[in-house]
Amino acid sequence: MSIIVAEGLVKQFPGEPRPAVAGVSFVVEPGEFIVLLGPSGCGKTTLLKLLNRLYEPTAGRLLIGGVDARGIPVTELRRGIGYAIQQTGLFPHLRVAHNIAVVPRLLGWARPRIEARIDELLALVGLPQSYRSRYPRQLSGGEQQRVGLARALAADPALMLMDEPFGALDAITRSRLQDELLDIQRKLHKTIMFVTHDVEEALRLADRMLVMREGQIVQFATPLTILTRPSDPFVEQLVGAEDALRQLSLMRVGAALTRRSSRAESTSAAATLPPLRLDDDLRTALAQLLSSGGDALPVFEGEREIAQLTLADMRAMLRRSTVAAPTALEPTR
Amino acid sequence: MSYLLKNWPYVGTLLLQHLWLTVSALAIATVIALPTGVLLARAPRLRGPVLGLFGLLYTIPSLSLLVLLIPLLRLGYWPAVVTLVIYAQLVLTRNVVVGLTGIAPAVIEAARGMGMNSWQRLTQVELPLALPLMLAGLRIATLSTIGIATVAAFVNAGGLGTLLFDGVRSSNPEKIVAGAIAVAALAIVANALLRHAELWASRGWGAA
Ligand SMILES: Nc1ncnc2c1ncn2[C@@H]1O[C@H](COP(=O)(O)OP(=O)(O)OP(=O)(O)O)[C@@H](O)[C@H]1O
Ligand SMILES: [Mg+2]
């Protein structure tokens, strides 16, 4: 059964000329990681808040887990949906442990179970146990966001709504948390609706991306489809599809390999894919990488695997190409 | 000073009377101000008119208010307490409103989004966060109530004001000084205690 079914959802704020969400319909299956992407003010946050009924729709119908959301008592509905926001909304007067325990307490969990859960979640988001007794203002912005993530996960909800939850994090922590989140999602089969402004983050996390503009859905498809077959110039520009892909198609795998990534470890996925060669173009490599579901692809010379190609290599390549364009076109060897 | 030392049992009785007037008036005022403040925080439209009314009452001189209440409540404890309750209302209610409306919207949204009902939100999130400001209001109201309560002697409600009025009537400066010292001491102690309570309410998490 689909976990979310939205039919013609509209949210019109009083006194606003246009509806913030202007009739959107979509279906999300359990276990999907959906990323909402779109320019500022396009209605991403509003759509998310319609899902946990922080806003009631002006029109349309919403089914959560096959049940009309209006038929579920609103507090019960929300306790079953994890919610994390960029401003974190941590309770300043409660210590970290208590912040994390809010929903389990509302659900009436027994004390030992709550304590064990707090331990588990702190470890999961990479915070030391000593942070239990800190107040939010004693944490950095990034640490607060991690507590926000732990809090949203606390009662192990099947559905999580996350509104730019990693906005305040540095690139390293962000990518670590992205990994953790993907891991959690795959292991625990969670459904996640994740808002971001960051295209790279979207491409990395999404099973499917929901691209919005002016309150409407312009494309709802896999990252690969969005990159290779954007539905219109707006999407193309938003995800930088044209630019990046055109560049990638001109670059060779061999040029993107760096010494760092050439320490090949184990060959994982991609056994069924055609082997990647040094003189293949990066656009092909990207398509293979995305469809393999792995983090790296083996690169072959003859029968021998000589290196691993990662998304980071391609990203670095693109970045390098913008400063020194000609090197990108150099043939390998 | 010598008056104070010679007559300490009498001054002590007056001080206790004064304290009782102050404490009971503030207790009643708080019981009114808390729900009123919560209501005003949730209904912005009522805020202006109601706080305006309290402001208006606040500007009436205490002596005239007392005199106006005598026909209704006769002499003694009650007209004095009612007067003090009316005066404390503005500061107490306003600080409840400011405390509640000053909470970051993201915090309220998180509380709602996590499935707290409005009572849980009020008791677990909003009131604890507003508490430091509410106690600051209580402290200011306490100081002004201790001061205004001296006028209670005028309607035979007792308190340290008795010393001041007697002193003036009998041209006895010693009594006036003794009364003033006792009132000041009471105010200083109350201020210190409530300041502690304020700090305690935001210990660890507050900016103060
Ligand atoms: N409570 C509200 N009252 C009135 N208008 C609102 C309200 N919330 C949002 N809007 C309007 O609705 C539109 C969509 O807002 P929303 O917050 O959903 O955008 P967003 O896609 O999340 O943007 P961002 O990426 O900047 O967070 C905007 O034009 C905004 O001004
Ligand atoms: Mg938003």
Which tens digits make up the pLDDT trace of A243-271?
Answer: 677 668 667 888 888 754 444 454 444 45
From the CA of B82, how many Å to the nearest CA of chain A?
Answer: 35
pLDDT at A276: 86
Q: Do A85 and B117 touch (CB under 8 A)?
A: no
pLDDT at B154: 84
CATH of the domain at A169: 3.40.50.300
DSSP chain B: -HHHHHTHHHHHHHHHHHHHHHHHHHHHHHHHHHHHHHHHHH-HHHHHHHHHHHHHHHHS-HHHHHHHHHHHH-SSHHHHHHHHHHHHHHHHHHHHHHHHHTS-HHHHHHHHHTT--HHHIIIIIIHHHHHHHHHHHHHHHHHHHHHHGGGGGGGT--STHHHHHHHHHTT-HHHHHHHHHHHHHHHHHHHHHHHHHHHHHTTTT---
Q: Does B112 touch chain A (CB under 8 A)?
A: yes
Query: Domain check: are A100 and A194 in the same one?
Result: no
Strand partners, A256: none
User: How many interchain CB pairs under 8 A, A with B?
Assistant: 68
pLDDT at A153: 93
Report CA(B133)–ligand 2 centroid distance (Å): 31
Strand partners, B199: none
Substitution site in A9, A16, A214 for ligand 1 pocket (most atoms within 8 Å of beta carbon): A16
Query: Domain check: are A71 and A202 in the same one?
Result: yes
Look at residue B197 and tell me whether its pLDDT is greater than 80: yes
Q: Does B9 touch chain A (CB under 8 A)?
A: no
pLDDT at A325: 36
Sort strands A208-213 and A59-64 into parallel, antiparallel or unpaired. Answer: unpaired
For the beta sheet containing A4-11, the strands, ordered from the edge strand earlier in sequence to the opposite edge, are A21-28, A4-11, A59-64, A67-68
Look at residue A180 and tell me whether its pLDDT is greater than 90: no
Q: Tens of pLDDT along A56-96?
A: 999 999 999 999 999 999 999 999 999 998 888 999 999 99
Write the CB contacts of A273 (distance below 8 Å, at least 6 apart in sequence).
A288, A291, A292, A297
- Per the structure, the count of domains in chain A is 3
Residue A38 backbone class (left: φ over 0; alpha: ψ -120 to 50; beta: rest): left
Lowest mean per-residue pLDDT among A49-53, A189-193, B19-23, B151-155 = B151-155
How far apart are alpha carbons A60 and A55 in whole angstroms? 13
pLDDT at B89: 94
Q: What is the band of A332 on the pLDDT scale with cuts at 50, 70, 90?
A: very low
Which residues, numbered 136 to 195 in chain B, qualify as contacts with chain A under a Cβ-Cβ cut-off of 8 Å?
none
Look at residue B15 and tell me whether its pLDDT is greater than 80: yes
Helix/strand/coil for A14:
coil
Lowest mean per-residue pLDDT among A80-89, A106-115, B152-161 = B152-161
Look at residue A148 and tell me whether its pLDDT is greater than 50: yes
From the CA of B195, how many Å to the nearest CA of chain A?
Answer: 19
The predicted model gives A11-32 an average pLDDT of: 95
Q: Do B204 and A78 touch (CB under 8 A)?
A: no
Whether residue A85 lies inside any domain: the answer is no
Select the residue from A51, A72, A91 to test the B interface by mutation, using most B Cβ atoms within 10 A: A91
Q: Do B110 and A91 touch (CB under 8 A)?
A: yes
Report CA(A46)–ligand 1 centroid distance (Å): 6
Strand partners, A212: A217
Q: Tens of pLDDT along B25-81?
A: 999 999 999 999 999 999 999 999 999 999 999 888 888 888 888 888 888 888 899
Query: Domain check: are A74 and A210 in the same one?
Result: yes
pLDDT at A249: 67
Superfamily of domain B2-201: MetI-like (1.10.3720.10)
pLDDT at A158: 93
How far apart are alpha carbons A244 and A240 in whole angstroms? 6
Q: Do A77 and B115 touch (CB under 8 A)?
A: yes
CATH of the domain at A308: 3.90.1280
- Residues having CB within 6 Å of any atom of ligand 1: A 13, 16, 20, 38, 40-46
Whether residue A86 lies inside any domain: the answer is no
Query: Domain check: are A173 and A72 in the same one?
Result: yes
Query: Domain check: are A36 and A183 in the same one?
Result: yes
Q: Which of A229, A220, A228, A182 is nearest to A201 (CA)?
A: A182
pLDDT at A318: 78
End residue of a domain, out of A138, A155, A172: A155
Quote the pTM value.
Answer: 0.80
Q: What is the CA radius of gyration of chain B?
A: 20
The predicted model gives B100-106 an average pLDDT of: 95
DSSP A183-245: HHHHHHT-EEEEE-S-HHHHHHH-SEEEEEETTEEEEEE-HHHHHHS-SSHHHHHHTTHHHHH
Query: Domain check: are A183 and A204 in the same one?
Result: yes
pLDDT at A126: 86
Q: Do B114 and A78 touch (CB under 8 A)?
A: yes
| A272 vs A124, residue with greater confidence | A124
- Point out the residue among B114, B120, B205 whose CB comes nearest to the CB of A93: B205
Q: Which of B68, A14, A133, A200 is nearest to A209 (CA)?
A: A200
How far apart are alpha carbons B50 and B1 in whole angstroms? 45
Helix/strand/coil for A39:
coil
Helix/strand/coil for A269:
coil
Query: Domain check: are A128 and A270 in the same one?
Result: no
Structure tokens at B76: 């003694």
| A319 vs A14, residue with greater confidence | A14
End residue of a domain, out of A126, A155, A184: A155
Structure tokens at A142: 């990034």
Report CA(A163)–ligand 2 centroid distance (Å): 7
Q: Do A89 and B112 touch (CB under 8 A)?
A: no
Q: Domain limits at A211?
A: 1-80+158-241
Q: CB under 8 Å, gap of 24 or more: what pairs does B40-46 form?
A: B40/B93, B40/B96, B40/B97, B41/B96, B41/B97, B41/B100, B41/B101
End residue of a domain, out of A199, A219, A241: A241
pLDDT at A119: 96
Task: Return the top range by mean pLDDT from A238-242, B3-7, B195-199.
Answer: B195-199
Query: Domain check: are A47 and A32 in the same one?
Result: yes
Helix/strand/coil for A50:
helix
**3-state helix, strand and coil shares in percent for chain A, rounded to the nearest 5:** 45, 20, 35
pLDDT at A243: 65
Whether residue A327 lies inside any domain: the answer is no
Count of CB atoms situated within 10 Å of the CB of A85: 24
A23: enclosing H helix or E strand: strand A21-28
From the CA of B133, how many Å to the nearest CA of chain A?
Answer: 14
Q: Does A75 touch chain B (CB under 8 A)?
A: yes
pLDDT at B70: 83
Query: Domain check: are A144 and A16 in the same one?
Result: no
How far apart are alpha carbons A11 and A6 in whole angstroms? 13
Lowest mean per-residue pLDDT among A16-25, A28-37, A74-83, A291-300 = A291-300
Query: Domain check: are A24 and A72 in the same one?
Result: yes
